[in-house]
Amino acid sequence: MAMTISSILIVALAGIVTATQSAWKHTQGIEDSQAQITASFDRMKMMISQAGVYQVNGQFPQVGLAVVTTPWNYMDIPDILVVWAGGRNGGISQSGVLNRLPRINELLIYTSDPDDRQNFVEIALPDINSNIDFNSSSFYGTIRSAIVSNHAEKALLSNRLCNSQYLLSGKPWGSKIDNIFFEISRTPSDASLSGVSPGTSGWMNLDWPQGTASSSSGLRQVTVNYLIQFETTEQTSLNEVNSTTALPFFGASSRLYAYSP
């Protein structure tokens, strides 16, 4: 009888210990993920706030912020953020509105590593000094090619990026895609600025941030919203597909600048 009772107690205690260890590992994983995402978001926020502004060929002022999509299973995933920050050290915003195009070696790109979709990276291209226009029809193609080129220098921000994979008959099929979503909004919007002349009542009544506007210019805000899913455990070959432990993290960063058409 005593041995039976002891056996029951040992089994019960073993279950409690196992559950406690599992809960501790899960909590530790969440904390580690939060630390990585906080560092990643802080880095992006700092560089977005320093994005440069340029105005050439009679165009409207253009902020060096853009979202590029990745084609995946007949969909376009907005998972690439391009920031004209001046390179790894930033600082291009201190030059004011420039009358030249950005150079590729002044860009920073935030996305997943093309060689390992589980890694969230910051990509710089210090060896390419050619110009790039954010308004160009070739902008998307140039950025996509640069990311996978030998010139891409990657700095790891996190190795816990969650991936998705298309399931065919319940089995993974095709390439994986990172769970990253970037979106850019502008205040006032491009549509509201269209056809409005400076100095008119329509101009002054636009939704300028902080109500800051004059007869010739206004304070405009560009906001980058982002959603990134991170795993709570270290990625291995055993848990890299459709993990149920991924957590979504949301963030937003803004750049204010003087808009003078």
Residue ranges covered by each domain of the chain: 32-259
**pLDDT of 13 higher than 70:** no
User: Please, which pLDDT band fits residue 192 given cuts at 50, 70 and 90?
Assistant: very high
Query: Exposed (0-12), middle (13-18) or buried (19+): which is 217, by Cβ within 10 Å?
Result: middle
What pLDDT, on a 0 to 100 scale, did the predictor assign at position 87? 93
Query: How many residues are given for the chain?
Result: 261
Give percent of the chain with pLDDT exceeding 90: 56
Q: State how far the alpha carbon of 117 is from the alpha carbons of 94, 173, 176, 197, 221, in Å.
A: 34, 15, 7, 46, 32
pLDDT in tens, 138-174: 999 999 999 999 999 999 999 888 888 777 777 777 7
Question: Per residue in 241-253, pLDDT tens?
Answer: 445 667 888 999 9
The larger pLDDT score, comparing residue 32 to residue 44, is at 44
pLDDT at 173: 75
Q: Is the pLDDT of residue 237 over 90?
A: no
Assess whether pLDDT exceeds 60 at residue 91: yes
Residue 17 — very low, low, confident or very high, per pLDDT cuts 50/70/90?
A: very low
DSSP class of 86? S
Q: Which of 197, 211, 227, 223 is nearest to 41 (CA)?
A: 227
User: What DSSP character marks residue 210?
Assistant: G
pLDDT for residue 247: 82
Q: Average the pLDDT over 202-227 and give the result.
A: 93
CA atoms within 13 A on the CB side of 15: 6
* Position with higher pLDDT, 201 vs 167: 201
What per-residue confidence (pLDDT) applies to 36? 78
Per the prediction, the chain carries an average pLDDT of 85
Please give the Cα distance from 106 to 83 (Å, whole number). Answer: 9
Instruction: Give the pLDDT confidence score for residue 174 in this predicted structure.
Output: 77
When pLDDT is averaged across residues 120-139 and rounded to a whole number, the result is: 95
Of 35, 52, 40, give the one whose Cα is nearest residue 155. 40
Output the CA–CA distances (angstroms, integers) from residue 220 to 25, 35, 137, 184, 210, in the order listed.
45, 32, 24, 13, 10
Q: Which of 26-30, 176-180, 189-193 has the lowest mean pLDDT?
A: 26-30
- What's the pTM value of the predicted model, to 2 decimals? 0.85
pLDDT, position 117: 87
Residue bearing the bigger pLDDT, 86 or 166: 86
